[in-house]
Chains A and B, each alone.
Chain A
Amino acid sequence: MRMFARLVGAAAMLAVSASAALSSRTDLVLGVVLEPPHLDPTAGAAAAIDEIVYANIYEGLTRIGPGGDILPALAEDWDISDDGRTYTFKLRGGVKFHDGTVFDAADVKFSLERAMAEDSTNAQKVLFSAIDSIEVLDPVSLKITLKQPQGSFLYNMAWGDAVIVAPESADGNKEKPIGTGPFKFENWARGSSVTIVKNADYWGEPAGLDRAEFRFIPDAAAAVTALLSGDVQAFPNLQAGDALAQIEADLRFKVVIGATEGETILAINNGKKPFDDLKIRQAISHAVNRDEVILGATNGYGVPIGSHFSPANPAYVDLTATYPYDVERAKALLAEAGYPDGFSATLKLPPPPYARLGGEIIASQLREVGINLEIVPMEWAQWLEQVFTNKDYDLTIISHTEPDDINIYARDDYYFDYKSPEFKAVMTELDATADPEKRKELYSQAQRIIADDAANVFLFQLPKIGVWDAKIEGMWENMPIQANDLTSAHWVD
């Protein structure tokens, strides 16, 4: 009898879900790994913040589209002076913040000046470093003057760190974000989820969903069961591991492998002996078999890279053949550098699976040429302190997830301690160049310099393994910026 009751219950439940499928759904539950510390993208670097609010709640002057291109957002149009120093933006009229206050040029001036201010904790202050002055011409026009021409200015303004906020609500954005986007913040159940709902007063194309919930699921096994049980209908980036094959075989789901901006590298402490010797770094590059690492660390989904640059970028140059896998060549280089019998070093690994799995493979590959690596696993805080801040390391594996970040090789005192006046000169020139063709040329020079110098071992571009219900359309395939833009996500029958 009890068994019968359970069957009836199950049948009733099936009937319910079947009838629900007949009309298009307008709600969506997305699974994300990390809970953000707060919801203000202008006051923290955590990718988890942008993954919820970017393009959904907040908008900037410009925005990054699904293909990585710069699109107009709150700025409808702009005019760049011939010397590349003055940008005149024409803003959209009739735009309202979620609390009803009207958006105008003064809000833009406020937001940018707030981010640039002395006491600002904006994690990407460098985005605004070229700005000299901001002048409000009228409520929908704004003139920004730069100290020197900056080719990447419109791109910089598209970052989550440069979104436009209102002076009336800016201080409360960490808890209750107020932006101009197609979704409004509804609720944050700490430790559990953030819910956003459709903004009925949106200036642009209205959202295709009435409600979206970002649910925090840190455990990979739990993510898979949440998907299979239907509790969660989309994982923009699923850490499924071995379970992916099972999901791919399931017709209820779509698996979309895309690219991120995450250049994953075997970082080398360039300032430390013996790694300050180019021959040693070349030997390490020759000793690493990139394909094996990609297979082991990303199930084969990572895209090989030969420099610190995304293959999705139009200026990308394929340099993967600079130092091909060649054990003999690696041994010869080691001998030339005075280490015929190799040496010992440490490999410090942060927690993500790509680092832990990749590290073991690389350690065994380097052992082939006589370099014995002691693997030291560490948690994030420890890694940031020892490796990133104090440069107390030999080798490490890490993914640099910020978009367009090749300029970190020009930073003094950065953790891999790479010093190249030539590279710096190229970056300075790039910074002052607005002409797209010239910029492309400079980008390719920059990629070549660090590849030839074997500054680090460039491994692969971190894949984005998107998994969602087969009836959902409009999700991003690639991740040109850290975001889960839901503006065009919707259900189809």
Chain B
Amino acid sequence: MIPYLLHRLASAVATLLLASLVVFAVLEILPGDPARLMLGLNASPEAIETLRTQMGLDQPVVVRYLEWLYGMVTGDFGRSLTYSSPVIDLVEERLAVSLPLALMALTLSTIIAIPVGVFAAARRGRPADTVAMGLAQFGVAIPNFWFALLLVYVFAVGFRLVPAGGFPGWGETWSSHGQAFQALVLPAVSLALPQAAILARVTRSAVVEVMGEDFIRTARAKGLPQRIVLWRHALRNALIPVLTIMGLQFAFLLAGTIIIENVFYLPGLGRLIFQAISQRDLIVVQGVVMLLVASVILINLMVDICYAVVDPRLRDGR
């Protein structure tokens, strides 16, 4: 297990380094001068030049890359050009929305998807399977921003049960925690639906495949009830593809939810990157993308460890 982990760690560092080079290079060739963007149409050239010097944009490319790299190694991700506050603080603020939201959506989608998938697999080819998979198909096909708007019209505009959008912050008291939680309910539901649909389909096909294996026949032959065969033997062996998909989904939910964040005007990570790109706040884009690369690598590593947990054969490090 240890050499296996060391090997993974080395490849993670190499991936990070490569990603940093790509991110920096791409942003370098992107047109648009941050100083000009900040000062607007009628700004005088002198004011723009002054600002460029203040922001350190007049330094050579290589120097800026190395300084940035050195900063990250020492835990300093730099300061935002537009917000003039440390990138790490901005990320922390946004994670307070994005992380709970991603967890809520993932939990919700798992709670829905796994039983539906197993249920459909057990009734493979029968009407219940067709209906469940038809619904899943529907869930994949519905654009989530449309579904989100629908939820808003029904539950926020119609019943006025939850706010139509925005995020009040977690606050100090229980009631403000409650309000923050309420603000995340509709976004979490709209994010969970398509994820659940995909996960249900994956679960079903994985379980169906396992159901054809010899050990299932053995389990049945020794007289285990269908429930035990399905949940203990089939699902557990079908979990690897399911975990893989869940890992990918979590990474997506963390930063790829810009559309849903826009519909609910939530201050999440996706919007931070989007805003930073359009304002050419390169320091923020670079820093956040690198943090995301790191978190995706970490999630994959955790998924790998989970493989080993569900499948003892993988523990030997092959």
Contacts and interface: CB of A to CB of B under 8 A. Distances in A.
Chains A and B bind each other: yes
Nearest to A382: B31
Interface stretch (B112-120, B154-162, B249-257): B154-162
B86 interface: no
Interface in B19-63: 30-33, 36-44, 46-47, 50-51, 54
Contacts of A229: 152, 156-157, 160, 163-164
Contacts of A24: none
A38 B84 contact: yes
A175 B85 contact: yes
Given A190-B267, A222-B262, A379-B278, A405 B37 contact: no
A120 B33 contact: no
B163 A222 contact: no
Contact of A121 (B50, B163, B168, B264): B50
A189 B265 CA distance: 13
Given A121-B39, A381-B280, A222 B275 contact: no
B215 interface: no
Given A124-B42, A175-B85, A191-B93, A225 B47 contact: no
Contacts of A175: 84-85
A379 to B, nearest CB: 6
A35 interface: yes
Interface in B257-288: 262-265, 267-268, 271-272, 275, 278-280
Nearest to A126: B44
Contacts of A44: 38-40
Nearest to A385: B31
Interface in A401-427: 402, 405, 408
A403 to B, nearest CB: 11
Contacts of B153: 225
A119 B43 CA distance: 14
Contact of B90 (A119, A190, A389): A190
The residue among B43, B85, B161, B263 with the most chain A CB atoms within 10 A of its own CB is: B43
A367 interface: no
B83 interface: yes
Nearest to B33: A385
Contacts of A123: 39-40, 42-44, 47
Given A10-B159, A174-B84, A37 B38 contact: yes
Given A175-B84, A408-B42, A219 B263 contact: yes
A121 B40 CA distance: 12
A222 B36 contact: no
Contacts of A191: 93-94, 267-268, 271-272, 275
Nearest to A187: B169
Interface stretch (A210-218, A439-447, A472-480): A210-218
Interface in A169-204: 174-175, 189-193
Contacts of A125: 44, 46-47
Contacts of A193: 166
A45 B39 contact: yes
B225 to A, nearest CB: 34
Contacts of B32: 380-382, 384-385
A408 B33 CA distance: 21
A261 B268 CA distance: 33
A120 B149 CA distance: 45
Given A174-B84, A191-B94, A230-B160, A381 B31 contact: yes
A188 to B, nearest CB: 10
A193 B264 CA distance: 13
Given A45-B39, A191-B272, A381-B37, A121 B51 contact: yes
A225 B152 contact: yes
A120 B268 CA distance: 33
Contact of B265 (A216, A384, A405): A216
The residue among B40, B84, B265, B272 with the most chain A CB atoms within 10 A of its own CB is: B265
B43 A6 contact: no
A6 B42 CA distance: 55
Given A222-B165, A381-B280, A405 B149 contact: no
B137 interface: no
A439 to B, nearest CB: 21
Interface in B76-104: 82-85, 90, 93-94
Contacts of A121: 39, 47, 50-51, 54
Nearest to A122: B47
Contacts of B44: 123, 125-126
A221 B149 contact: yes
B164 A190 contact: no
A192 B164 contact: no
In the A-B complex, the 7 residue pairs with the smallest Cβ-Cβ separation, listed nearest first, are: A191-B267, A45-B40, A381-B32, A37-B82, A229-B164, A229-B156, A219-B262
Interface of A: 6, 9-10, 13, 35, 37-38, 44-46, 118-126, 174-175, 189-193, 215-219, 221-222, 225-226, 228-231, 379-382, 384-386, 388-389, 400, 402, 405, 408
Given A121-B47, A123-B47, 15 more contacts: A6-B159, A35-B275, A45-B42, A45-B43, A126-B42, A175-B85, A191-B275, A192-B267, A217-B166, A222-B263, A225-B152, A225-B156, A226-B265, A231-B166, A402-B42
19 contacts: A44-B39, A44-B40, A122-B47, A123-B43, A123-B44, A126-B44, A175-B84, A192-B267, A219-B265, A222-B263, A225-B157, A226-B166, A229-B152, A229-B163, A229-B164, A231-B165, A382-B31, A384-B32, A384-B37
Interface of B: 30-33, 36-44, 46-47, 50-51, 54, 82-85, 90, 93-94, 149, 152-153, 156-157, 159-161, 163-169, 262-265, 267-268, 271-272, 275, 278-280
